[in-house]
Amino acid sequence: MEKDTGLLLYRNMLLIRMSEERLAQSRQAGLVHGACHTYVGEEAVATGVCAHLNQDDMVFSTHRGHGHALAKGVSPFEVMAELYGRETGCSHGRGGSMHLFKPEVGLMGTSGIVGPCILQAAGAGYTFKLLGKPNVAVAFFGDGASNNGAFHEGVNLAAIYKLPVLFVCENNLYATEVPSSYSSGNPDIYQRAIGYGIPGVKVDGNDAWEMFLAAGEAVRRARAGEGPTLIEAKTYRTRAHSEGMRDVGYRTQEEVESWKARDPIKMLRDRLLRDHTADEDDIDNVHNEVTARVTDDHQRAADSPWPKGSDALSHVYFEGA
């Protein structure tokens, strides 16, 4: 592993983690007005995949999308301001946690509906193919979406048209609170790829380096015109489904603790030190940088102006370039 890559992955995971811990705190303080689904524990997936993407590549995300937005290059300030309902938010206060948009950097939207992102990523893949662009589209979705018809239709369409798409299933074992072992005929989602005639890959979603390698191969295939790949990242969210919700009754404390012990940030840190890719000072520098950034971005977001009520009716239809 190269030091730059290792520290980049570490830095981006830490940025997601600290931003979301700040958001969880802000929600308790009343700064976040609606839902707040955190990605804590799953940071390696978005970070590993997005490290291969440039601004013209497109990401279509889910209701648990802060990590995807931050990994794709939306600033913590814009994500926080959006959750705080401010004009400076990445969706100008129209969306909140579940509707983060920043097409300028290829974040094509997080979504309150489970499934459509799979279809939309296939659509972006279609555009790239139609217009001869060298880009790839990525759909992040959970194990819950894999049991929705959109998964079947979208993956099949991408397969038959050989579209440059990554279908990244973040299997965190629960669709909200329903276990995927209960809701899936075969809980190994990557095996479904066989049914569509495309490659299916199983990855340890808590290992950033493994994620980085698997995504790298899938992105290469896509850009080479070899078609889509299904990646199943086995991972776990260690906070509640949504901030403020009771996190009991469907999983055990032991299970949560066992996954916390496999914290992806700690795992990468250990690997960087073990392999002498980076030293403690490097790690500390990243920590200091990210801490300052998140503290500063939170303050700016909290100090940002509210949107004007009169803007609530704009952009229902196209209003000119």
Residue that has been written with the tokens 């279809």 in this structure: 119
Q: How far is CA 180 from CA 98, 147, 183, 184, in A?
A: 22, 9, 5, 6
DSSP strand pairing (200-204 vs 229-234) = parallel
Contact track, another protein, 143-182, x by CB under 8 A = ------xx-xxx-xx--xx---------------------
Choices 37-45, 129-137, 195-203, 286-294; region in contact with another protein by CB under 8 A: 129-137
Contact track, another protein, 76-115, x by CB under 8 A = ---------------xx-xx---x-x-xx---xx-xxx--
Which is nearer to another protein, 105 or 203 (by Cβ)? 105
Question: What does the alpha-carbon distance between residue 5 and residue 212 come to, in Å, rounded to a whole number?
Answer: 10
Axis crossing angle, helix 208-223 with helix 264-274, rounded to the nearest 10: 90
In three-state secondary structure terms, 245 is coil
Geometric angle at alpha carbon 115, from 130 and 70, rounded to 5°: 80
Contact track, another protein, 5-34, x by CB under 8 A = ------------------------------
Choices 119-127, 206-214, 263-271, 289-297; region in contact with another protein by CB under 8 A: 119-127
**Contact call for residue 319 and another protein (CB under 8 A):** yes
**Taking Cα atoms as reference points, which of 259, 227, 206 lies closest to residue 126?**
227
**Contact call for residue 120 and another protein (CB under 8 A):** yes
**Contact call for residue 219 and another protein (CB under 8 A):** no
DSSP assignments along 247-271, one per residue? --SSS-HHHHHHHHTT-HHHHHHHH
Which is nearer to another protein, 101 or 236 (by Cβ)? 101
Could you say which of 6, 41, 85, 123 contacts another protein (CB under 8 A)?
Answer: 123
Smallest gap from Cβ 132 to another protein, in A, equals 10
Number of residues that bind another protein (CB under 8 A): 46
Question: What does the alpha-carbon distance between residue 154 and residue 137 come to, in Å, rounded to a whole number?
Answer: 13
End-to-end CA, the chain: 45
CB-count burial class (<10 Å; 0-12, 13-18, 19+) for 246: exposed
Which is nearer to another protein, 182 or 317 (by Cβ)? 317
Side chain identity at 77, as an amino acid letter? Answer: F
Q: Which pair of structure tokens corresponds to residue 39?
A: 């990605």
Choices 22-30, 122-130, 214-222, 261-269; region in contact with another protein by CB under 8 A: 122-130
Which is nearer to another protein, 29 or 130 (by Cβ)? 130
By the 8 A CB rule, do 210 and 172 touch? no
Which is nearer to another protein, 213 or 312 (by Cβ)? 312
Contact track, another protein, 46-75, x by CB under 8 A = ------------x-x---------------
Contact residues for another protein, defined by CB under 8 A:
58, 60, 91-92, 94-95, 99, 101, 103-104, 108-109, 111-113, 116, 118-131, 137, 149-150, 152-154, 156-157, 160-161, 314-319
